[in-house]
Amino acid sequence: MTVVLVFLTLMVAVVGWRIARDTGARRVDVLAHEAILLFDADSPAGAPREPLAVADAEKVFRGLAAVPMDLPRDDDFVPVEVRRVTFSKRPAASLRFLYAGDAYLLVVSARDRLLGNGFPSAFPEGSFVSGERGGKSFVLWDREGASCILVSDVDVTQAFDLVRRLFT
């Protein structure tokens, strides 16, 4: 009888762990897919595609994201568009920018908007999830009360390095 109970307990624990693990993977897939769709979408009709001043873009981005985030002051960093988007059924801020000629999209949402109040970070501080879907690379991370995802056509290692150097 004890052997059967131990076996059943282990089986339930393994099944629970696999469900929890698979749920996290599905959630990342959904977030990555949604961010890639935003990256592939063009700007609204008639929206200007001229570079923005970094200070102006930062001011608008901070207001929309509702989180403190400094944009890089690097000569290779060229903000193109800042706007409010719906990401994971929540309000978020998106920033299209060029870095060394490559196009990127950064989407930032206040953590409590994505997970609800009182929930822990989706990823432990300092953790990143990166990957490639449909020829696009993405990096997903949490910082300073916000969930962030960067999407680009560049190689995932290049996107990850850009996040590490400019946004963490």
Q: Write the DSSP assignment of 61-87 as a string of letters.
A: HHHHH-S--PPP--TTEEEEEEEEEEE
Least confident of 1-5, 19-23, 142-146, 158-162: 19-23
Least confident of 14-23, 99-108, 131-140: 14-23
pLDDT digit string, tens, across residues 121-139: 555 545 788 888 888 999 9
pLDDT of residue 110: 81
* pLDDT interval class at 107 (50, 70, 90): very high
pLDDT of residue 66: 82
Contact 97, 77 (CB under 8 A): yes
Contact 148, 111 (CB under 8 A): no
> Domains plus CATH for the chain?
2-166 (3.30.200.100)
Task: Summarize the confidence of residues 114-124 as an average pLDDT.
Answer: 47
pLDDT digit string, tens, across residues 58-80: 999 988 888 888 888 888 999 99
